[in-house]
Amino acid sequence: MTSKATIWRATVLTLFPEMFPGPLGVSLAGKALAAGLWALEARDIRDSATDRHRSVDDTPAGGGPGMVLRADVLADAIDAADAATDRPRDRPRLLMSPRGQPLTQAKAVELAAGPGPLIVCGRFEGVDQRVIDARRLEEVSIGDYVLSGGEIAAMALIDACVRLLPGVMGKLASGADESFSDGLLEYPHYTRPQEFEGQPIPEILLSGDHARVAAWRKAAAEALTRARRPDLLIASTRGQKPPKNTTEG
Ligand code: SAH
């Protein structure tokens, strides 16, 4: 039995808690959420506002467009989330941010293996730098483009983690064949009908010969990765020992 305290839990700090669970409430993640395999807590940053207008942002020091999330309000929201939880104090504290380290499958695996992160969603122009430093927020990006807020990015990160949790994907739980897990993109999939608009399923896949199927899939994954993401091949060979017959000098 998994006890309540050890269930993987994402705590999200946001100005729009009503966006959650959103897409995380359906399909695999949603069923697992309903089954208590993981937990989601969305907390309203605005609850930490102190003034009459419940303001959370202000104009940027030094001028420029837009508004910035206040350090004091956000720090209070983080501290309140920590005070209200039975989570370990050293759970990862993330800030969704286009300036952050890119989210990778390896990062999702690492986060899924822990207690679950606290995730701050920025809005407007972003967050006062002092709270990032003072609360040691680790900035994580979901790609080189700018969203209007961190919520969709947080959902992407949570989804990538949740599908790795034990029991969530059933038999597929290891995800060992999937894109990125071995440094390669995944091979192409086929299912019925056997012929679609004149195109048959590659014959090997119907042969029942598991070794040949595995070899075909590996070759297909390598070809696809070479064509689309050669950077992944370079990354996966980096750090590997050179082959024995390599002559030096
Ligand atoms: N002015 C900022 C962008 C702010 S976008 C800049 O140029 O870096 C508003 C918020 O959306 C950010 O604080 C962040 O929480 C979220 N966000 C935007 N793009 C993102 C991305 N690619 N990855 C993760 N979060 C992102």
33-38 — which CB contacts under 8 Å span 24+ positions?
33/162, 36/7, 37/2, 37/7, 37/8, 37/165, 37/166, 37/167, 37/168, 38/7, 38/8, 38/9, 38/10, 38/116, 38/162, 38/165, 38/168
The continuous run of DSSP H or E covering 43 comes out as strand 38-44
Indicate which residue's Cα is closest to atom 16 of ligand 1: 150
**What is the per-residue pLDDT for 242?**
45
Question: Is 15 within 8 Å of 56 (Cβ atoms)?
Answer: yes
Ligand 1 contact, 123 CB (< 6 A): yes
Dist. CA 141 → ligand 1 center (Å):
8
Ligand 1 contact, 117 CB (< 6 A): no
Using the structure block, give the residue that is written with the tokens 């705590």: 11
Among 73, 79, 53, residue whose Cα is nearest residue 128: 73
Ligand 1 contact, 67 CB (< 6 A): no
The Cα 149–Cα 235 span in angstroms is 31
**What is the per-residue pLDDT for 249?**
36
- The end-to-end CA distance of the chain, in Å, is 58
**What is the per-residue pLDDT for 152?**
98
**What is the per-residue pLDDT for 236?**
74
Please state the atom number of ligand 1 nearest to the C-alpha of residue 141. Answer: 23
The Cα 1–Cα 91 span in angstroms is 22
Ligand 1 contact, 98 CB (< 6 A): yes
**What is the per-residue pLDDT for 245?**
47
Question: Is 73 within 8 Å of 47 (Cβ atoms)?
Answer: no
**What is the per-residue pLDDT for 189?**
97
The Cα 8–Cα 168 span in angstroms is 12
Dist. CA 107 → ligand 1 center (Å):
19
Per-residue pLDDT of the chain (249 residues; tens, 9 = 90+): 555 558 999 999 999 999 999 999 999 999 999 999 999 999 999 999 999 999 999 999 999 999 999 999 999 999 999 999 988 878 999 999 999 999 999 999 999 999 999 999 999 999 999 999 999 999 999 999 999 999 999 999 999 999 999 999 976 645 677 889 889 999 999 999 999 999 999 999 999 999 999 999 999 999 999 999 999 998 877 655 444 444 443
* pLDDT one-digit tens code per residue, 2-44: 555 589 999 999 999 999 999 999 999 999 999 999 999 999 9
**Percent of the chain topping pLDDT 90:** 84
* 19, 59, 96, best to mutate for ligand 1 pocket (most atoms within 8 Å of CB): 96
* pLDDT one-digit tens code per residue, 93-104: 999 999 999 999
Dist. CA 56 → ligand 1 center (Å):
17
Q: What is the pTM of this model?
A: 0.92
Dist. CA 150 → ligand 1 center (Å):
6
Ligand 1 contact, 143 CB (< 6 A): yes
Dist. CA 212 → ligand 1 center (Å):
46
Ligand 1 contact, 43 CB (< 6 A): no
